Amino acid sequence: MAFEGLASKLQETMRKLRGSARVTEKDVKDMMREVKLALLEADVNFKVVKDFVSKVSERAIGSDVLESLTPGQQVVKIVNDELVLLMGGEAEKVNFSSAPPTVFMMAGLQGAGKTTCSGKLANIMRKQGKKPLLIACDIYRPAAIKQLQVVGGQLNVPVFTIDGCKDAVEIAKSGIKYAQSMQYDLVIIDTAGRLHIDEELMGELKNIEKAVNPSEILLVVDSMTGQDAVNVAESFNELLNITGVILTKLDGDTRGGAALSVRAVTGKPIKFAATGEKLSDIEVFHPDRMASRILGMGDMLSLIEKAQEAFDEKQAIELQKKMKTNSFTIEDYLVQMQQLKNMGGIGEMLKMIPGAGKLSEIELDDKMLLKTEAIIFSMTKRERVHPEIINASRKIRIAKGCGMQVSDVNKFLKSFEDMKKMMKQMSGGGKKGRKGFGNMKLPF
């Protein structure tokens, strides 16, 4: 996961200071040495690291400590504040045209993820009430147009193209005319990329920009390329009127340096972050929330937003009724598990809860969810609704069906019954009234 190495190092450094009643100049210098090493290891631009360490040191050594905080907590707050500023301060909104259609133009090197990101952007914009049209202007890469059509098909978003046309500018102009005639209020142009920046690529992008006058030129950058990602962003920024950056592959084994360097080096905001392979795995980039995650302070706002998106309100009301009447079934539990997976899984969810990050390293991993899912899928519909009918022979069949032991099936069934009892008590349906989670073990 992005920032994992950097986050663990910074969190350990901050932990040493957080409870300190007194912080000396030497303490700050020692901490800044560790912070500097952590940032450099994360492939953050050297100049950016130097400026960041200098600003934090200056504020920490000369800072008036807030009355409500210990000096250690004040230093942690300073580091957090400077991280937020480093990544842009506030989330930047996209620009929409007053006269539709609004035009977003995607740019970037080949392999950065432009085509997939075009689809992801169409998906997130449609949720905001927009009616998007994708335009396929990558006329060079084999199967690029087909790839965009597949992405559009998965989202039920139309893709405009002109068969046999080898003029990207003409395709873009015709696509916008089509969007106007069909009343699409947002056009996303997927342009061609190269393995490196060259005159031909930049010339074509400039011609498209001149022809369509986009509201946004969004540079798609592969965060896994580390410092090279920053160099690419800088080069594109010198030649095009880039309005924002989309960081891709933030779910990979990346050190996170790109996110911390791009804004500082180019002056252009990071507007979106792609965090996975699914077409729903894209989110608005919030510098304050990202800084909070890096320092282990959680990200409750993003967690709430994901929950609102993933969970159906009617289902939630129905679930509450079932909890009170003790009629919650394994079938209901399967639905809740699948919605949890839509939020990114248990590990990602826990990272957003303040102080719960370490729990994601224990038993609550997504492999356990998959095992539980396998057991449930091996059951019949009737068994899921009426688990009390599952006798010894049924358990043997279920275990064989999911490739596990009967003891695993028994463990799941017992945990599920324990969870049902606890849910009833927590919902106020039990004799003992409301209780905490206590020693309840979840059935995965």
Which CATH number characterizes residue 74's domain?
1.20.120.140
Whether 79 and 176 map to the same domain: the answer is no
pLDDT digits (tens, 9 = 90+) for 413-431: 988 888 777 766 655 544 4
For residue 360, pLDDT over 50 is answered with no
Give the span between the Cα atoms of 332 and 357, in whole angstroms. Answer: 27
Whether 111 and 82 map to the same domain: the answer is no
Give the span between the Cα atoms of 148 and 137, in whole angstroms. Answer: 10
For residue 238, pLDDT over 70 is answered with yes
Q: What end-to-end distance do the CA atoms of the chain give, in Å?
A: 23
% of the chain residues with pLDDT over 90: 27
pLDDT of residue 43: 78
Q: Could you tell me if 10 and 35 are in contact, meaning their C-beta atoms sit under 8 angstroms apart? A: yes
Which CATH number characterizes residue 113's domain?
3.40.50.300
Band of residue 249 on the pLDDT scale cut at 50, 70, 90: confident
pLDDT of residue 69: 55
Q: Could you tell me if 127 and 211 are in contact, meaning their C-beta atoms sit under 8 angstroms apart? A: no
Whether 240 and 263 map to the same domain: the answer is yes
Judge whether 51 lies within some domain: yes
For residue 134, pLDDT over 90 is answered with yes
Q: Could you tell me if 376 and 330 are in contact, meaning their C-beta atoms sit under 8 angstroms apart? A: yes
For residue 306, pLDDT over 80 is answered with no
Whether 363 and 253 map to the same domain: the answer is no
Whether 135 and 258 map to the same domain: the answer is yes
Give me the DSSP letters along 387-407: GGG--HHHHHHHHHHHT--HH
pLDDT of residue 33: 86
Q: What is the mean pLDDT of the chain?
A: 78
Give the number of domains in the chain.
3
pLDDT of residue 102: 93
pLDDT of residue 143: 86
Whether 364 and 220 map to the same domain: the answer is no
Give the span between the Cα atoms of 174 and 163, in whole angstroms. Answer: 12
Band of residue 362 on the pLDDT scale cut at 50, 70, 90: very low
Give me the DSSP letters along 308-351: HHHS-HHHHHHHHHHHHHT---HHHHHHHHHHHHHTTHHHHHHH
pLDDT of residue 180: 93
pLDDT of residue 81: 86
CA 182 vs CA 127, 145, 165, 185: distances in Å: 19, 21, 21, 9
Residue with more model confidence, 8 or 131: 131
pLDDT of residue 92: 84
* Edge-to-edge order in the sheet of strand 216-222: 159-160, 132-137, 186-191, 102-107, 216-222, 244-248, 270-274, 282-284
Band of residue 396 on the pLDDT scale cut at 50, 70, 90: very high
CA 411 vs CA 359, 405, 417, 418, 443: distances in Å: 21, 10, 10, 11, 8
pLDDT of residue 286: 85
Instruction: Provide the residue range defining the domain that includes 406.
Output: 305-426
Domain final residue pick, 86, 115, 132:
86
Which CATH number characterizes residue 357's domain?
1.10.260.30
pLDDT of residue 393: 93
Judge whether 93 lies within some domain: no
pLDDT digits (tens, 9 = 90+) for 317-340: 666 676 666 677 888 888 777 766
pLDDT digits (tens, 9 = 90+) for 76-94: 778 888 888 888 888 888 8
| Model confidence, pTM | 0.66
For residue 63, pLDDT over 80 is answered with no
Band of residue 407 on the pLDDT scale cut at 50, 70, 90: very high
For residue 164, pLDDT over 70 is answered with yes
Give the span between the Cα atoms of 101 and 360, in whole angstroms. Answer: 44
What letter represents residue 304's amino acid? Answer: I
